[in-house]
Amino acid sequence: MTSTISTSFTLIPNQKYRRSSRRSKPFCNTVDTDSESLSTLGNFKALPLEIFQMVLKYLSVKDISMLSMVSKAVSNRLINYISTSSGNRRLLLQDFHNLEISGKREGSCVLEHYRSLGLLLKRCTLLLPTKDRLKYIHKILSEVSCFKLSGCPSPLHCLGLQCYGVFLQTLTAGWDELECHRVFNFLCELSNLPRKVQTVVSSKPGSARKLELRIRLFCRSVLLNHWIHRSDSAFWLTRILKPWPMVNQARLLYIIFGPVSSLNGHVVWQKMIEGPTDETSLKGLADAIKLLYDTEAKEWTADDVISLVDELSVVPREWLMENNARLLILSGNNICFTFMASKAVNGRAVELARLVVFLALVCEKDLYCMDWAVKMMQKVCKVFSTPGERNNFLQSVENAFAHMIMDMLQSVMSGDHDEEDSSFLNLFHLVNAQANFHKEILYLTMRSTST
């Protein structure tokens, strides 16, 4: 469905930023020569600029970042060094592609290098307003093509976006939300992310597979994967999703966290429609939903998240109910109950009853405790306002079990089996699920009567 893009991603709150009162000073390639500046260089003032820069070659990036905190004059000299061709070659490592040759250890070293570089530039630009910091840092990093959303010809085999994400996380750690809003808007402007997202959420799923892949990698590697605190992850995921209508949020969530092909990394749109899937294919989506439902995600209400789950279950078309049930289980008790309760209060008892059956089926298949499904149903029963509504719901659960078993039995008896004979296997799991489900109900009933 085509939708008009919201412009909320470009709006900065009309509040002064923490650094807005500072006076910015243009960066230049000459060192301050006034006496006050020279006096703060300490013993370094005896060294010519060329010798000072030669000394820097023997220091690690972490050591250089520590040196930048000595004084403003030293920091200015380091800024000049970073802007030189020799400083660029030293600091902007670009060996992002030799992963098979270099292995995990060297890959970790490159990531750690960019973590240290983020700290260096964070300290060197400490006295500048956020806008000027971002402009300067962009000027330094703009030549690295692998840091761009569509810059690398082989993004699946490149560490560039991960290095950029580690750098960004280190740079912005501790910044307040208003500054981070500005960072996100700045990144959107550089990468043209909103327009690219508009293309994929308004096109037929899979028609822009390469762009879907690049958006997924950019959002995950640059904006989402490197945060330690859940509140930070929730903030950046909210920035990505919130500018869009709910239906597009669901599409975008699937692009970023849905299942992908192990061969080419492209999003597998038919995975939830063609047959039952496994936990691995749903874990990313479930974790994202839990993140948004968390109290740290200030801009999301429970109704927002439940509506998002509802929209997600029809992306790109209606999912198999088993996959929907598996997603709810992986999303946790609170989300599962809230989702089911919303159906109960909206008079969708028959649909809710089928969901209960599939929750039991998933518990049977994936070896979860069946008493969890029974207790969840018991909890949902309390949502119904009258005994009559509750009894009708329970009758609908039994009818759903019966209808599903008859449908599967008819499929088995028709002789239309595939190579794995999945029809018989599904019938086997469903019969066992019904037996174990009712066994737990009997246990619960007997325990309550004995007390």
Specify whether the CB–CB gap between 343 and 355 falls below 8 A.
yes
DSSP annotation of 223: I
Nearest CA among 200, 287, 207, 283 for reference residue 248: 200
User: Packing angle between helix 279-293 and helix 246-257, nearest 10 degrees?
Assistant: 130
pLDDT value, residue 384 = 96
Q: What is the pLDDT of residues 139-197, one digit of tens each?
A: 999 989 999 999 999 999 999 999 999 999 999 999 999 999 999 999 999 999 999 99
Residue 257 to residues 88, 223, 227, 267, Cα–Cα distance (Å): 35, 13, 16, 9
Work out the burial of residue 379: count CB atoms within 10 Å of its CB; fewer than 13 is exposed, 13-18 middle, 19 or more buried. Answer: middle
Specify whether the CB–CB gap between 93 and 113 falls below 8 A.
yes
Share of the chain above pLDDT 70, in %: 86
Specify whether the CB–CB gap between 91 and 66 falls below 8 A.
no
pLDDT value, residue 295 = 76
pLDDT value, residue 412 = 83
Q: What is the length of the chain?
A: 451
pLDDT value, residue 298 = 85
* Rounded Cα gap, residues 185 and 189, in angstroms: 6
Tokens of 69: 């905190």
pLDDT value, residue 102 = 46
CA count, 13 A, side-chain hemisphere, 291: 23
Q: Is the peptide bond before 26 cis (omega within 30 degrees of 0)?
A: no
* Rounded Cα gap, residues 342 and 354, in angstroms: 15
Tokens of 277: 């899937």
pLDDT value, residue 448 = 80
Q: Is the peptide bond before 316 cis (omega within 30 degrees of 0)?
A: yes
Element at 252 (helix H, strand E): helix 246-257
pLDDT value, residue 447 = 86
* Rounded Cα gap, residues 341 and 396, in angstroms: 16
Specify whether the CB–CB gap between 335 and 309 falls below 8 A.
yes
pLDDT value, residue 420 = 57
Residues of the chain where predicted confidence (pLDDT) is lower than 50: 1-35, 101-102
Tokens of 39: 């006096």
pLDDT value, residue 71 = 84
pLDDT value, residue 105 = 59
Residue 322 to residues 164, 250, 373, 403, Cα–Cα distance (Å): 38, 19, 14, 15
pLDDT value, residue 4 = 42
**Contacts of 35 by beta carbon, 8 Å cutoff, 6+ apart:** none
DSSP annotation of 316: S
User: Packing angle between helix 349-365 and helix 370-381, nearest 10 degrees?
Assistant: 160
**Contacts of 63 by beta carbon, 8 Å cutoff, 6+ apart:** none
User: Please, which residues bridge with residue 260 across strands?
Assistant: 267
